[in-house]
Chains A and B, each alone.
Chain A
């Protein structure tokens, strides 16, 4: 049932895209052909092994997941799971109305957004600070990358130890007369998560910002210097436009990564998670592997997939990152 309607939906989508494509893109197509690359003779068959692998490890599990979300699948029916009772959209209804899913979505999205908004200026500042050569720059750059190369599990374990009641951070704050309260439970745990996420992920933004800065041509610097631009003007009107592409990419990847981040909250707070940090991946995990509601959990996972796919799609359309021939606003 569900697969039928799915393929039907796909084919209509394909038709509509085919119908709409030719007009705006035909000049583009001809110009590409003129470049000499014969599209007809490209050895597309060489994609078969990779394509097959993609089908096995991505498409098949995805379809199975969608199928599962329509089943009343739990530990009692797991053994003969294909014949578990089909209950249509009931899992989706339960996920949206009778589970903390909406709360979890809100938490996941808001925390990701806050973390990203803070890391971007941090990343840019780090990149600008290490752009010009100075003694010890290599060391500083390496130090900046430490949080990025540490496994998430290690980062979370170390921070969890430091945030324990009465541990390092508490005693430090106590010595200056602040009673910080609980870090790993209660409302503050949400900010703990954001703090650790920022610590762990800002070097990623830094890396991409650095790559953006490297692409600023030497002549541009010279030209702006000749025009008498001071450092802020130069940064604002000359350098930042170059960073737009890499930083948009960083924002997109960072958001997706944060929304999907399981290890960090899982190790920091454990399960059952305090309700202030019951994020989407944690909720899906608990539903599946603690409560054994595989069907319900698949429905939750599917909802989160849609949640991620919408902004991704809009964004890819907007900046045309999916179109290799037109570099996204750069140069």
Chain B
């Protein structure tokens, strides 16, 4: 008994000691101040998202890049991965507070404003940009969410993942539709023609329970109707355009009946599966990373990507800048930690992974589009052409530290409306009440951001 408890105690001590060494490990390799890209004996620490879809390929990519980096600079790279956005956030928070951790982080674009708000990452100077090959190296649209303005940019574009829709050519043809819709109204009308509940075929496939998709629809339809949601220090969720967007989005299910009723419980991957089994005309809000999955499915060779509608609900042609709001500006940025003691090495790494060849190679393996302008031009897969076009027509979400909260508020309106959706209608007054709640929460957050 005594032995058991002391053994347990020893185990605890050992575990704690291991944990402490693990915490310190990230920082042990810094020190020494050699020339800019002579990294002999140094180790760069890079934190990036885990790719569950292509995990073996990702490991291979890590090894390859590390070898090339070693050849260029003499330094080693240590890759760490995070499994989810929450994981990443925890890492960033710990690093921000303790001032130690990875040198380079990979961030989702919509998370970049939040990360920028912590002021823990390097805002690039002209010199810094030169070190990674100059700003001109990048697709100009991809720089749209790198910082609050052109002079203050922290996020270096790494890949683009614009949102498009895929359509099933056979189902469209069978319904007598010769070309995909370019306005949201037309989309609903086309989808109605394709829907046949008896065969389980629906015009649209989308997931109402997804953690991101719903707010992207609302954002797109509102922006196209001329409301960019954030106007300086004012949040505009109480605008009729936003309400109309929600009504359109909910209407697919309640009045148009062009989506599978089960989709109130779906996430994006369920929608991909429905489309892949040939049960849907359009797959909404997807990216080029669905390509490898779809190419192995029942719809292989029968589908194509195209930009989502850019004409706001109720309108007949794109108003103002709407044609350039086909998707949120989406993808990954890389940022360099402000506390890093080897920033030059970090820039050398970024220069390597954003080079034309590496970007094209990355696209081939993982499907994400290059952020490198030359590489984007050099893409020769015709299936990807509409996606590449959309990359140039993407619009950044508002660059504010409050965006995370606003996004959550937009999503929350959908979450709280799901019981109504399942009953068949969302009445005006409850939608308005939810929008009012979202407006006040989001505005409070925006007030904190501009304080």
Chain B associates with chain A: yes
Residue of B nearest to A186 (CB): B419
Q: Are B9 and A49 in contact (CB under 8 A)?
A: yes
Q: Are B422 and A289 in contact (CB under 8 A)?
A: no
Instruction: Quote the shortest CB–CB distance from A215 to chain B (angstroms).
Output: 19
Which residue of the partner chain, among A49, A81, A185, contacts B419 with CB atoms under 8 Å?
A185
Q: Quick one: which of A185-221 are within 8 Å of B by CB?
A: 185-187
Q: Are A75 and B408 in contact (CB under 8 A)?
A: no
Number of A-B contacts (CB under 8 A): 83
Q: Quick one: which of A133-192 are within 8 Å of B by CB?
A: 164-167, 181-182, 184-187
Instruction: Quote the shortest CB–CB distance from B439 to chain A (angstroms).
Output: 15
B7 located at the interface, meaning its Cβ lies under 8 Å from any Cβ of chain A in the complex: no
Given contacts A164-B265, A275-B416, contact A53 B13 (CB under 8 A): yes
Write out the residue numbers on chain B whose beta carbons fall within 8 Å of the beta carbon of A182. 264, 418-419, 422
Q: Quick one: which of B405-435 are within 8 Å of A by CB?
A: 405, 408, 411-412, 415-416, 418-419, 422
Count of chain A residues with a beta carbon within 8 Å of a chain B beta carbon: 31
Q: How many Å lie between the Cα of A76 and that of B419 in the bound state?
A: 36
Instruction: Quote the shortest CB–CB distance from B67 to chain A (angstroms).
Output: 35
Q: How many Å lie between the Cα of A181 and that of B261 in the bound state?
A: 12
B302 located at the interface, meaning its Cβ lies under 8 Å from any Cβ of chain A in the complex: no
Write out the residue numbers on chain A whose beta carbons fall within 8 Å of the beta carbon of B114. 75, 292
Q: Quick one: which of B381-404 are within 8 Å of A by CB?
A: 401, 404
Given contacts A166-B261, A185-B415, A186-B418, contact A290 B118 (CB under 8 A): no
Q: How many Å lie between the Cα of A76 and that of B86 in the bound state?
A: 18
Q: How many Å lie between the Cα of A74 and that of B119 in the bound state?
A: 12
Q: Quick one: which of B157-188 are within 8 Å of A by CB?
A: none
Write out the residue numbers on chain A whose beta carbons fall within 8 Å of the beta carbon of B120. 79
Among listed B33-41, B90-98, B216-224, interface-contacting one:
B90-98
Instruction: Quote the shortest CB–CB distance from B397 to chain A (angstroms).
Output: 16
Which residue of the partner chain, among B411, B419, B422, contacts A272 with CB atoms under 8 Å?
B411
Write out the residue numbers on chain A whose beta carbons fall within 8 Å of the beta carbon of B45. none
Write out the residue numbers on chain B whose beta carbons fall within 8 Å of the beta carbon of A328. none
Which of A75, A76, A164 gathers the greatest number of chain B CB atoms within 10 Å? Answer: A75
A270 located at the interface, meaning its Cβ lies under 8 Å from any Cβ of chain B in the complex: yes
Residue of B nearest to A161 (CB): B265
Write out the residue numbers on chain A whose beta carbons fall within 8 Å of the beta carbon of B411. 272
Instruction: Quote the shortest CB–CB distance from A83 to chain B (angstroms).
Output: 12
Q: Quick one: which of A59-116 are within 8 Å of B by CB?
A: 74-76, 78-79, 81
Q: How many Å lie between the Cα of A167 and that of B172 in the bound state?
A: 29
Instruction: Quote the shortest CB–CB distance from B117 to chain A (angstroms).
Output: 5
Q: Are B415 and A289 in contact (CB under 8 A)?
A: no
What per-residue 1/0 map shows which CB atoms of A289-320 lie under 8 Å from chain B?
11110000000000000000000000000000
Given contacts A165-B422, A182-B418, A187-B419, contact A49 B408 (CB under 8 A): no
Q: Are A76 and B449 in contact (CB under 8 A)?
A: yes
Q: Are B419 and A290 in contact (CB under 8 A)?
A: no
What per-residue 1/0 map shows which CB atoms of B258-286 lie under 8 Å from chain A?
00011011000000000000000000000
Instruction: Quote the shortest CB–CB distance from A298 to chain B (angstroms).
Output: 13
Write out the residue numbers on chain A whose beta carbons fall within 8 Å of the beta carbon of B119. 79
Q: How many Å lie between the Cα of A185 and that of B89 in the bound state?
A: 27
Write out the residue numbers on chain A whose beta carbons fall within 8 Å of the beta carbon of B96. 78-79
What per-residue 1/0 map shows which CB atoms of A11-44 lie under 8 Å from chain B?
0000000000000000000000000000000000
* A and B contact pairs by CB, cutoff 8 A, 13 listed: A49-B9, A50-B9, A78-B93, A165-B261, A184-B209, A185-B264, A185-B419, A185-B422, A186-B418, A271-B211, A272-B415, A273-B415, A291-B404
Instruction: Knowing that A75-B114, A165-B261 touch, tell me 19 more A-B residue pairs with CB under 8 angstroms.
Output: A75-B118, A75-B401, A76-B401, A76-B449, A79-B96, A164-B265, A166-B261, A182-B264, A182-B418, A273-B415, A274-B416, A274-B418, A286-B408, A289-B86, A289-B89, A291-B405, A291-B408, A292-B404, A292-B405
Ranked nearest first, the 8 interchain pairs of A and B with the lowest CB-CB distance are: A186-B419, A166-B262, A165-B265, A185-B418, A272-B412, A164-B265, A182-B422, A165-B262
